[in-house]
Each structure stands twice: as structure tokens, then as C-alpha cells.
């Protein structure tokens, strides 16, 4: 529930919700730092005492870092000597009450200890704030009451200024009050900033005295009726007054101070706010208070991730251009340096430039630098501007918001409410050599983008391809197609759409392939697939794969989602909010509810007995739904028609276990402009087990996969062996099969599902081995070949296991359990890299990275020397206030440092790193809790 740092010691004190105070330390283990659990404390209490006696509510670490003041719910304050792990002093509430002057002692208890502060100058006294509003300044040496500040409202938070002269406290009615300690008689009335109507509590306040003026920063306090659902942090300084409006609940905030030790005046530089979904830093030094771009911990899921795509070894030129476009996008942001730094990264320098592209529900694609440990945002591409959407109409409500009271300003990029679900990106294909990017969306739209360093404005060509081949008997009941904006569309620098192809019916795209060398684009939906010539801008082929009885395929998957209009979304927003505004302390009713829940869980098995889950056992039939769905598309230069002539071909695999192959006649470059491309039907393979075809690949005569388009042209791959027999690898959900080409006779097969009951969810060909030529035979997939790099097939099953198979013999080489089989989104979000690594979403906002290759590991190795003075300096320790969850800069480093070796132990030496932002929300604390329980 709270995290506190012991300055300069590399230690953390965590208050857990089971009333345990737990001490953690960053220890050096083999050259790298790890966060280790040291010790647990509980408040001492008499046997039979009320539980409130031992329930800590407020923590405060002394400036020296050796003492911990712990306030309890019963109102007493304990002092814990961290060096000796002993409680050496107690100030009970009775004692406090007795020392009170008569006029404050009205016979009632003071309530729980809400806040404890140590005197910032002398460290000889502490300030204790009680729920009822009373603040006591207690002299530790003389053990007597120094001062009493009689607050009247329910206390939320206390801040003691750097000079030690001012105390600011905030109350649950949305007001705050300033006390001056030097002039004992002066007492300011509480000010209700956003009044006069009832306001929500100010959960945390900080007030800094800078040269000349004050800086007030607080969270909450919004008028309850009109803006009670906003998540705001208000900053006031001189005349500037901004209420930063976040899209998710504010967990905590702190300011990074630039003040030198020993000075009296404060100098807040950066405000760092942790909201539930992201971490936002705001530059308080720059005019207008712009936000900072975080170098890590960027919000992955600003809009829900719908797909991801990994491209390794990006050519440096393309990389630089993408980075340059990203820099242009960040112009509005502050140029200030990221204020939170520390520790040493010991990981190897990156060996290649890898991109992870994430497609989002709002039609945007984010480019992440996936070469290192932390995913760094490089560039964001939005396709929404290409289409006419509902969001184009200006929102009147938004405009009234601006310029009114309170002075809201939207910050942060988390916006889960997509305006038009049709914009969602379903498939991404990037050609790293040509810089062409193909995107396929939820409403049949396929965009071909090209990188342009300049902003332009041009019309976007649109083509429509009917995948039903004008079959009149089908009627599409799903959503409408997206309308491409007519006329010139202003396009910012970066990837700009060259053309848009619309599949009709506008179903969600299920497969996409871009062949930049031949300038061909293939895409598929649940109805069929199509081939488009990007050079001549002409449709080449459409093929309907729909089974006549498949009624379900005619309904768009979004048909229901579409009816969610904006008003509805607003009300959801409100509902969500009311759920998240949880009370600060668990009250007895929740306990009862939990107990009931536990009881009902125990009842559950008997209910299961009554109505057991049944599964139908039936052979796959061509009448099943979505059999026509195209699952994969693949271009290959191979022997489709006979064994002596190879040529371009297009392959498509469907949900019903059918593979179609077309041979393509592509004119020579000289005639590319005039002659049209012809696609001729080549082969159709019906797999008898009818399981969905997940991947197709052609292996050359040496059984290595054909290189990517343009790869050979750029001298980055050997040209394929065109003399030996090519073979076709078909990966279905149930089996792997290798057929010889062109005769399609089966050569090798492996029946996965029939033998062990797991089904393939994702499959990819990976290149394993070390670049230096030394084989990594210690673990992972043993590469027993002369060549340093060997290809193998890795797949992820629905049981969450990763298997590796040799090619072409399809023998199981290694298997690792990787994810929980219940983690359906994790399994469906998994992408493999060419080097045997993989990414999957462990939560909507977090990717977990793993590796099956011993040679290619991205590992977080870092160290922290906490006791060095520089290190202390590198972590500007903010002033603590025991409110809800604490965040400090070190925290971020710590969490990253924990690095969480993948819980299900993929490989002994492949560590899986939790990067990404947002690890500090309450989920961290639950994890701490879990770890702790394991330790005991």
C-alpha cells in the first residue's frame, strides 16, 4: 500500500495490505543488482488487542535513514530502529492526549495516524497528523508536545516545507490549509479552491516556497458534481494555474527538486505523476509546462494493442529516417533531460536495430526500438486521418471545457476509448529494404504507406476489390466500409499512405503479405483473398474461399461493437471510475464480502458436478463456420508447376486446411509498366485433417527458407538454392507437413494434436546459432550443423508451450513451458523474432520478452551502487508524504531491476524481462506480497 525509500541505502520499505512492513534491498549479485527481500516487521501488540493496534497507516523514514516512524490505526506512533530491527519507542494515543492542552481534549479519540513528518531542518521533532484533523508537533528528545495545530476537517495529507516553517495540510472536503510555525498565532482559514459546491478530497498536497512565490501542487479536489469523474493534478504558481487532466486514476505524484542541500528555498523542476495507466512527467521549468517524453516506461496501450509485428536488423538508413520522423513528432514536448537517472546498465550494446510495431485499436501504429532492454517509442503513425470518422465532428463539450474553471489541460497519451472500432489495425507488414509498410485494418482497409521525410498533401487513391466475386447470394450484415477522405489530405512527415485498397465486404483483414520486390500486395479476409499490383495500381486476382453455408462469416465481428456510440462510452467511463475510486482503507464490509466470495468458491466444485462442462467431439467439417477465412498469405519464387522452371507464386492458407497456390507471371522490369501481371491457378491442397493453416513457407534445396523479398538484392542473404528440390512447409493448427514441390508429395510430417492434444497457435521460422560461429549448445535448441546458423521451426501451442522443431525432418528438438494456458491474450499476442526471441502481452500494457535461443538474449543487467554519494545525488529524493502509493525515481529503476526472471522458467539462461511502464501501480505491491509469501 505504501513504498518508502531509505535515502542512500538502496533499500525500500513497503507497507503491505496485510499489515506487514517489509524491507527490501538492492544487493549486488554477481556484478548485477537485484532487489532482495530482507526482513518483515509487524507492529507489536498485546495478545487479544484490537487489530487496529497493529495496523500501520502511516510511515515516515527519518532523514538519516536509520529510523522508521510508524503510525497505527489506533493512533499510536512506533519508532523502528532499522539498523537493529527493534522497536525502541512508542508514543501512544493516550500519551498524546494527555499532553494536549485542555481545550483540544474534548474527550474523544484523535483517530488514526494519517501522516507523520520529520522536521526537515533539525530531525529532532516529528509532526503527527490524525484523521480528525489535529496535528501535533512532538519533540523527540524531550518527549513532549511542542505545538498543536488544531485542524477541523478530516485530514488527507500533510506537507512540511523545506524551510521547516510552513505546514500545509489537505482535507477530505477538497480544501487545504496553511500553517506557519514561526508565528504561532497566525492561522489561515482553509481555502476551498474549486468551491463553493462540495468537492472531492485532496489526496495529496505539496507546497513549495520558491524565490518570490509559492508552488502548490495537489491531486484531487475537483467539484464533486460537475467534474467528480476527472483525474486531476492541479499546479498553481504565480498566475499560472493548470489542472492537468488525466485519463486514468491518479495514484501518486512527486516533484523532482533542483534545490541544493542546505538551502531554504525550494526549486521544483519536474512533476512526475503516476496514473493507473501511465507515468507522466511535466516540466515545471519550461514556460507552459510541457510534458516530457519518457525514455522508457512509455505507455504501450494508449489505445488497445490489436496486433504486433517484429522486424529485426533494420538497415541503418531506414532506422535513421524513422527516428528523425519521430523526433519531429516530439517537438511539442519539453526538451528537458529526463530527471530520473541512476545505476549502470551492463547489458551488451545492441547488436542490431530491431523494430517492434504495435497496431492499435484507434488505427495507429507505434514503432518501438526493441533492440535493447527497454522498449523505446520511436515514432507513431496514425491512419485515422485518412478516413472520414465520427471523431471528425468537433466536440462542443470539449470546447466548453477549455478556458473555463477549473482550467483543465489534457495530458498523457492513454486513451482507451477508440472513436471508431473500424480503424483498428489487424495486420502489419514492413519491408525493411524498401521502406514500404502495409497495414490492414478491421473494416477491410489495406493501406500501402511509404516513408517520406517531408510533410505533403495529396489525394489518396482508393481501389475496391470484391472478394465475393460478385456473388449475389451473399449479403454482408456487418459494418460499413470506411470512407477515404476525398481531396487532398495533409500528411505529416513519416509514413504516408500511397494507396488504399478496400476489400468488399469490409470484413476484418485476417492475412496480409507485401512483396516489395514484385510490387505486389496480397490480403485476405474471412471471405477470400486478393492480389493487388501496386506498381500499375491494378487488381490482379480475387479468389472467394467462402463456403456457401457459412452464414457467420457474413456478419462483421464488429457489428455489435459498432452500436456503442459516444454517449454510451461516456457512461462507461463514469461507471469505470466509480469502481476505481476505492476507499483508502479496507472496511469490514469488504472483509465480509471476501469471506463470502471464498465460501462461494468452495461451493463451486459441487456446482460443477451438477452441470459439468461438456465438449463435443466431432470431426472438422467443411460446413463449419469461418472455414473460408484466409489465415496466411505467402509469396515465393519456387517450382510450382514443374521441376525445371521456377517462378513467382502466391500461396494462401485457409481455416479449413486448404492451401491455394497461384503462379504469377510478372513482366520484366522494362515491361513492368505496360504488361499486366497474370495469376494462374496452380494448385489446391486440401489437408485431410482440415485444421486451419497457420503458416506457409518454401524451403530451398538446402532446406533453408527462401529469403525475404529484396534481401538478396541488398546482399544480405545468399540467393536460394534453385537447383535442388524445393519443399513446402505447411503449419496447421494440428500438424506440420513438408511436401516436395512441384509434385506436392508428402515428405515429412509431425502430428502434434493427435499425439498430445495441444494445438499450434503461433509458428515462425527462426535462425538460431551464434554470429561468431560458436554454437550455443548449452541449452535451447542444439544446433548440430556445420553452419553457424540453422533454421528451425518454433511454435507456441495453446497450452502455452514453445516447441522447437528441426527442418526439414520436423523432429522435436526442445520444448519449454512459457505461458499459462489460461492466458489466452498472451498466447494470441505472441510474436517471434527471427533470432528466436518472442514478445507477448502479459497484461494489456506489458510485453514480456523471452528467448529460445541461447545465442540471442536480451537481458537486463545493471547495477546500482547506492552508497556512493553520486548515486545519492543521482536520485533526488523527493520529500515523503505517507499517502497512498509512493513513487520515487528509484522506484522506477528498482522495478526494472527486479527484472523478473520469467516466472515459469523458460530457460536457465534466458531471462525474461519485464520492461514497459506502469509497473508501479498496485499490482507491483501484490507481487511483492506474493514474493514474500513464497519466502516464508
Please report, as ranges, the residues that interact with another protein according to CB under 8 A. Answer: 544, 546-549, 608, 612-620, 622, 658, 663, 680-689, 691, 734-735, 737, 739, 743-747, 749, 751, 753-759, 798-799, 821
CA atoms of 873 and 597, how far apart (whole Å) = 48
At closest approach, how far in Å is the CB of 730 from another protein? 9
21 three-class SS: strand
Residue 166 or residue 758: which is nearer to another protein going by CB?
758
Cβ(159)–Cβ(181) below 8 Å: no
With beta carbons less than 8 A apart as the criterion, state whether 521 and 429 touch.
Answer: no
108/475 with CB nearer another protein? 475
With respect to another protein, which residue has the nearer C-beta, 469 or 909? 469
Q: Are 53 and 71 in contact (CB under 8 A)?
A: no
Nearest distance from C-beta of residue 16 to another protein, angstroms = 34
Q: Residue 733 Cβ, how far from another protein at the closest point, in Å?
A: 9
CB of 607 to another protein, least distance (A): 13
Specify the residue, 459 or 684, whose C-beta has the smaller distance to another protein.
Answer: 684
Q: Taking the complex as a whole, how short is the minimal distance between the CB of residue 515 and another protein, in angstroms?
A: 20
b/e 325-348 (16+ beta carbons within 10 angstroms → b): bbeebeeeebebeebbebbeeebe
Q: In angstroms, what is the minimal distance from the CB of 348 to another protein?
A: 40
Asked whether the beta carbons of 481 and 520 are under 8 A apart, the reply is no
Beta bridge partners of 804: 794, 814
The distance of closest approach from Cβ of residue 739 to another protein in the complex, given in angstroms and rounded to an integer, is 7
Q: Three-state DSSP class for 720?
A: coil
Which of 882, 933, 923, 927 lies closest to 4, judged by CA?
A: 882
Shortest reach from residue 647's CB to another protein, in Å: 13
Instruction: Provide, rounded to whole angstroms, the least separation between the CB of residue 728 and another protein.
Output: 11
Round to whole Å and give the CA distance between 808 and 793: 9
Report in angstroms how near the CB of residue 572 gets to another protein at its nearest: 32
Indicate the residue among 189 and 619 with the shorter CB distance to another protein: 619
Would you say 240 or 469 has its CB closer to another protein?
A: 469
Given the complex with another protein, which of 190 and 682 has the nearer CB atom? 682
Give dist(CA 166, CA 207) in Å, integer: 9
Three-class secondary structure of residue 753 per DSSP: helix
Tell me the closest approach of the beta carbon of residue 538 to another protein, in angstroms: 22
**Nearer to another protein (CB atom), residue 594 or residue 623:** 623
Beta bridge partners of 520: 515, 533
In angstroms, what is the minimal distance from the CB of 696 to another protein? 14
Look at residue 625 and give its three-state secondary structure.
coil
* 3-state SS assignment for residue 386: helix
**Contact between 699 and 786 (Cβ < 8 Å):** no
Instruction: Let me know if 671 is exposed, middle or buried by CB neighbors in 10 A (0-12, 13-18, 19+).
Output: exposed
Smallest separation (angstroms) from another protein to the CB of 371: 38
Q: How far is the CB of 529 from another protein (least distance, A)?
A: 14
On whether the CB atoms of residues 814 and 805 are closer than 8 A, the answer is: no
Q: How far is the CB of 381 from another protein (least distance, A)?
A: 38
Strand partners, 136: 128, 148
- Which CB atom, from 93 or from 654, has the smaller least distance to another protein? 654
Give alpha helix (H) positions in 92-237.
93-98, 224-227
Strand locations in 395-493, DSSP E?
408-410, 425-431, 436-441, 445-452, 456-458, 461-466, 483-484, 489-491
Closest CA to 302 of 248, 228, 356: 248
* CA dist 338 → 147, 281, 358, 701, 889 (Å): 40, 9, 24, 53, 11
Coil vs helix vs strand at 637: strand
Q: Cα(368)–Cα(359) distance, rounded to whole angstroms?
A: 11
Quick one: which of 668, 641, 660 has its CA closest to 530?
660
Tell the smallest beta-carbon distance from residue 842 to another protein (Å): 22
Residue closer to another protein, measured from CB, 86 or 680: 680
- Residue (81 or 746) nearer to another protein, CB: 746
Strand partners, 236: 216, 241
Name which of 725 and 927 has its Cβ closer to another protein. 725
- Three-state DSSP string of 126-140: EEEEECCCEEEEEEC
At residue 217, the 3 state secondary structure works out as strand
CB 177 within 8 A of CB 191: yes
Nearer to another protein, 459 or 642 (CB): 642
**For residue 190, what is the DSSP state?**
P
Give Cβ neighbours of residue 198 (< 8 Å, ≥ 6 apart).
Answer: 173, 174, 223, 224, 225
Nearer to another protein, 72 or 542 (CB): 542
Pick 405 or 681: Cβ nearer another protein? 681
Q: CA-CA-CA-CA torsion for 622, 626, 628, 631, nearest 10 degrees?
A: -120
- Beta-carbon contacts of residue 169 (< 8 Å; ≥ 6 apart): 115, 129, 135, 149, 151, 155, 156, 157, 158, 159, 176, 177, 179, 205
Nearer to another protein, 568 or 754 (CB): 754
Least Å distance between CB 745 and another protein?
Answer: 5
Nearest to another protein of 51, 757 (CB atom): 757
- Min separation Cβ 800 and another protein, Å: 12
Cα-Cα-Cα-Cα dihedral of 41, 43, 49, 53, to 10°? -130
User: How far apart are the C-alpha atoms of 425 and 437, rounded to whole Å?
Assistant: 13
Taking the least distance from each CB to another protein, the nearer of 565 and 616 is 616
Rounded CA-CA distance 100/840 in Å is 59
Amino acid at each position: 500500500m505504501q513504498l518508502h525509500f531509505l535515502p542512500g541505502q538502496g533499500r525500500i520499505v513497503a507497507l503491505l495490505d496485510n499489515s506487514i512492513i517489509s524491507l527490501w534491498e538492492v544487493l549486488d549479485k554477481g556484478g548485477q543488482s537485484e532487489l532482495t527481500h530482507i526482513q518483515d516487521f509487524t507492529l507489536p501488540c498485546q495478545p487479544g488487542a484490537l487489530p487496529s493496534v497493529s495496523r500501520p497507516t502511516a510511515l515516515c523514514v527519518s532523514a538519516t535513514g536509520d529510523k522508521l516512524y510508524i503510525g497505527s490505526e489506533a493512533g499510536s506512533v512506533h519508532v523502528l530502529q532499522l539498523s537493529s530491527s527493534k522497536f525502541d519507542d512508542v508514543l501512544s494515543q493516550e500519551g498524546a492526549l494527555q499532553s494536549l492542552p485542555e481545550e483540544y481534549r474534548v474527550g474523544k479519540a484523535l483517530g488514526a495516524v494519517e501522516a507523520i513528518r520529520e522536521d526537515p531542518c533539525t530531525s529532532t521533532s516529528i509532526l503527527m497528523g490524525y484523521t480528525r484533523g489535529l496535528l501535533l508537533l512532538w519533540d523527540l528528545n524531550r518527549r513532549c508536545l511542542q505545538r498543536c495545530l488544531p485542524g477541523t476537517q478530516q485530514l488527507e495529507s500533510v506537507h512540511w516545507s523545506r524551510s521547516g516553517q510552513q505546514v500545509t495540510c489537505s482535507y477530505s472536503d477538497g480544501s487545504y490549509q496553511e500553517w506557519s510555525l514561526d508565528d504561532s498565532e497566525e492561522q489561515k482559514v482553509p481555502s476551498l479552491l474549486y468551491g463553493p459546491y462540495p468537492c472531492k478530497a485532496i489526496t495529496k498536497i505539496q507546497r513549495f516556497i520558491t524565490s518570490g512565490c509559492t508552488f502548490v501542487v495537489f491531486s484531487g479536489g475537483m467539484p464533486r458534481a460537475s467534474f467528480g469523474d476527472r483525474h486531476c493534478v492541479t499546479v498553481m504558481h504565480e498566475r499560472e494555474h493548470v489542472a492537468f487532466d488525466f485519463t486514468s486514476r491518479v495514484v501518486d505524484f512527486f516533484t523532482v527538486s533542483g534545490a541544493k542541500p542546505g538551502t531554504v528555498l525550494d526549486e521544483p523542476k519536474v512533476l512526475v505523476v503516476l496514473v493507473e495507466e501511465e507515468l507522466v512527467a511535466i516540466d515545471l521549468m519550461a514556460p507552459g509546462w510541457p510534458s516530457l517524453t519518457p525514455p522508457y516506461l512509455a505507455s504501450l496501450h494508449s489505445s488497445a494493442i490489436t496486433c504486433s509485428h517484429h522486424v529485426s536488423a533494420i538497415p541503418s538508413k531506414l532506422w535513421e529516417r524513422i527516428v528523425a520522423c519521430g523526433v519531429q513528432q516530439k517537438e511539442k514536448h519539453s526538451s528537458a533531460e529526463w530527471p530520473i537517472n541512476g545505476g549502470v546498465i551492463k547489458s551488451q550494446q545492441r547488436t542490431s536495430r530491431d523494430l517492434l510495431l504495435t497496431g492499435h485499436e484507434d488505427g495507429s501504429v507505434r514503432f518501438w526500438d526493441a533492440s535493447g532492454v527497454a522498449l523505446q517509442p520511436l515514432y507513431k503513425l496514425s491512419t485515422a486521418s485518412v478516413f472520414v470518422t465520427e471523431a471528425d465532428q468537433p466536440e462542443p463539450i470539449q470546447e466548453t471545457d477549455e478556458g473555463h474553471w477549473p482550467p483543465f489541460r489534457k495530458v498523457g497519451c492513454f486513451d482507451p476509448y477508440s472513436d471508431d472500432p473500424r480503424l483498428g489495425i489487424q495486420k502489419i507488414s514492413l519491408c525493411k529494404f524498401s521502406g514500404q509498410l502495409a497495414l490492414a485494418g478491421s473494416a477491410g482497409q489495406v493501406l500501402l504507406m511509404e516513408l517520406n521525410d517531408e510533410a505533403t498533401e495529396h489525394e489518396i487513391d482508393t481501389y475496391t476489390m470484391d472478394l465475393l466475386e460478385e456473388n449475389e447470394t451473399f449479403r454482408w450484415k456487418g459494418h460499413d466500409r470506411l470512407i477515404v477522405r476525398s481531396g487532398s489530405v495533409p500528411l505529416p512527415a513519416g509514413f504516408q499512405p500511397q494507396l488504399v485498397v478496400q476489400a468488399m465486404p469490409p470484413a476484418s483483414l485476417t492475412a496480409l503479405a507485401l512483396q516489395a520486390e514484385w510490387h505486389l500486395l496480397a490480403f485476405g479476409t474471412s471471405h477470400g483473398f486478393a492480389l493487388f499490383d501496386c506498381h500499375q495500381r491494378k487488381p490482379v486476382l480475387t479468389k472467394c474461399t467462402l463456403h456457401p453455408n457459412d452464414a457467420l462469416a457474413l456478419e462483421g465481428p464488429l457489428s455489435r461493437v459498432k452500436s456503442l456510440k459516444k454517449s454510451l462510452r461516456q457512461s462507461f467511463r463514469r461507471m469505470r471510475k466509480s469502481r476505481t475510486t476505492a476507499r483508502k482503507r479496507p472496511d469490514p464490509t469488504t472483509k465480509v464480502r471476501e469471506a463470502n466470495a471464498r465460501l462461494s468458491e468452495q461451493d463451486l466444485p459441487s456446482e460443477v458436478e451438477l452441470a459439468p462442462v461438456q465438449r463435443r467431439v466431432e470431426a472438422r467439417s467443411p460446413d463449419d463456420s469461418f472455414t473460408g477465412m484466409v489465415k496466411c498469405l505467402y509469396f515465393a519464387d519456387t517450382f510450382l508447376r514443374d521441376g525445371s522452371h521456377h517462378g513467382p507464386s502466391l500461396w494462401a492458407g485457409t481455416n479449413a486446411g486448404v492451401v491455394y497456390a497461384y503462379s504469377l507471371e510478372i513482366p520484366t522490369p522494362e515491361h513492368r509498366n505496360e504488361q499486366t501481371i497474370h495469376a494462374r491457378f496452380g494448385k489446391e491442397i486440401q489437408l485431410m485433417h482440415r485444421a486451419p493453416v497457420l503458416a506457409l513457407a518454401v524451403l530451398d534445396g538446402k532446406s533453408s527458407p527462401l529469403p525475404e523479398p529484396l534481401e538478396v538484392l541488398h546482399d544480405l542473404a545468399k540467393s536460394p538454392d534453385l537447383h535442388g528440390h524445393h519443399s513446402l512447409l505447411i503449419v496447421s493448427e494440428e500438424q506440420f507437413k513438408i511436401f516436395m514441390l512441384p509434385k506436392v508429395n508428402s515428405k515429412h510430417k509431425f502430428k502434434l494434436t493427435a499425439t498430445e492434444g495441444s494445438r499450434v497457435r503461433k509458428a515462425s521460422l527462426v535462425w538460431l546459432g551464434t554470429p561468431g560461429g560458436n554454437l550455443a549448445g548449452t541449452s535451447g535448441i542444439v544446433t548440430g550443423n556445420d553452419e553457424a546458423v540453422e533454421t528451425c521451426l518454433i511454435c507456441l501451442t495453446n497450452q502455452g508451450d514453445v516447441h522447437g522443431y528441426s527442418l526439414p525432418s520436423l523432429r522435436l528438438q526442445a520444448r519449454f513451458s512459457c505461458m499459462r494456458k489460461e492466458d489466452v491474450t498472451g498466447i494470441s499476442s505472441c510474436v517471434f523474432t527471427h533470432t528466436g526471441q518472442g514478445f507477448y502481452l502479459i497484461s494489456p500494457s506489458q510485453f514480456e520478452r523471452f528467448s529460445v535461443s541461447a545465442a540471442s538474449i536480451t537481458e537486463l543487467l545493471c547495477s546500482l551502487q547506492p552508497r556512493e554519494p553520486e548515486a545519492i545525488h543521482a536520485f533526488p529524493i523527493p520529500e515523503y508524504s505517507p499517502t497512498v502509493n509512493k513513487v520515487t525515481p528509484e522506484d522506477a529503476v528498482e522495478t526494472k531491476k527486479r527484472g523478473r526472471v520469467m516466472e515459469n522458467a523458460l530457460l536457465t539462461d534466458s531471462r525474461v524481462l519485464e520492461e514497459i511502464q506502469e509497473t508501479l501501480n498496485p499490482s507491483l505491491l501484490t507481487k511483492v506480497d506474493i514474493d514474500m509469501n513464497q519466502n516464508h
